[in-house]
């Protein structure tokens, strides 16, 4: 059975990726970085989601010798010129904290009128083969940032993000509903045929 590595240790992200990728690629054995001896993962130093996803996927291929998928994703807020962007997970500094990130974001756009609180969740998924072949796809979900969080599900900025055309935040959706709508779900569904074509 062909094998594929998901290049992440993030447990919540892993669950989400495995839920989406598993049914799309049933003939693959999907491994994670936890299945291998630990190695120094690359610093996410690129200025784009695609660049950081490629860094992580390339490192996983170099370490495991297997094809790898890596995701880099975050929140782009119009009123903050696209930030926190690639800094989304560490927006409030170390240690990483969803609560502190959300609090800082709300503070930064506190005076922004509701009609100017547009944002988008963005996910870039890189697929890298040991041969050096690389492909990147992007998923995007537009929405708005609320003035207070709603919902207990999801992670990151999910409680603050209301997708366009939906009356529930990402944190109020069921896992299945979120997978169908999310930026990561869209990117993974776009990359799955590319993976299936070569593995």
Determine whether the annotation assigns residue 73 to a binding site: yes
Any binding-site annotation on 10?
Answer: yes
155 is in an annotated binding site: yes
Question: 189: annotated binding-site residue?
Answer: no
Q: Does 140 count as an annotated binding residue?
A: no
Is there a binding annotation on residue 72?
Answer: yes
The answer to whether the annotation marks 156 as part of a ligand binding site is: yes
Q: Which residues contact 96 (CB under 8 A, 6 or more apart)?
A: 89, 90
To the query of whether residue 72 is one of the catalytic residues in this protein, the response is yes
User: Which are the contacts of 115, defined by CB distance < 8 A and separation ≥ 6?
Assistant: none
CA distance 17 to 185: 8
CA separation, residue 21 to residues 15, 24, 58, 126, 192 (Å): 10, 5, 19, 14, 7
How far, CA to CA in Å, does 24 sit from each of 115, 165, 193? 38, 26, 8
94 is in an annotated binding site: no
Phi (first) and psi of residue 177, to 5 degrees: -65, -40
Cβ–Cβ < 8 Å for 50, 126: yes
The catalytic residue among 71, 72, 98, 179 is: 72
Extract the annotated binding site for Mg(2+): 72
Extract the annotated binding site: 8-13, 72-73, 155-158, 178, 183-184
Give the active site residues. 72
Extract the annotated binding site for substrate: 8-13, 73, 155-158, 178, 183-184
């Amino acid at each position: 059975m062909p094998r594929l590595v998901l290049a992440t240790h993030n447990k919540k992200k892993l669950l989400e990726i495995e839920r989406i990728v598993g049914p799309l690629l049933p003939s693959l054995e999907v491994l994670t970085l936890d299945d291998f001896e630990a190695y120094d993962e690359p610093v996410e130093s690129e200025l784009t989601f695609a660049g950081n996803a490629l860094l992580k996927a390339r490192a996983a291929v170099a370490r495991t010798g297997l094809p790898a998928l890596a995701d880099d994703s975050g929140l782009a807020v119009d009123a903050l010129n696209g930030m926190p962007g690639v800094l989304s997970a560490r927006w409030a500094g170390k240690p990483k904290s969803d609560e502190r990130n959300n609090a800082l974001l709300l503070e930064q756009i506190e005076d922004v009128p509701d009609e100017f609180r547009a944002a988008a969740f963005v996910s870039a998924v890189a697929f890298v083969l040991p041969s050096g072949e690389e492909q990147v796809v992007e998923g995007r979900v537009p929405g708005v940032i609320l003035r207070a969080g709603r919902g207990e599900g999801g992670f990151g900025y999910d409680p603050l993000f209301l997708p366009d055309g939906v009356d529930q935040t990402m944190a109020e959706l069921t896992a299945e509903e979120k997978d169908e709508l999310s930026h990561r779900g869209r990117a993974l569904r776009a990359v799955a045929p590319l993976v299936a074509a070569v593995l």
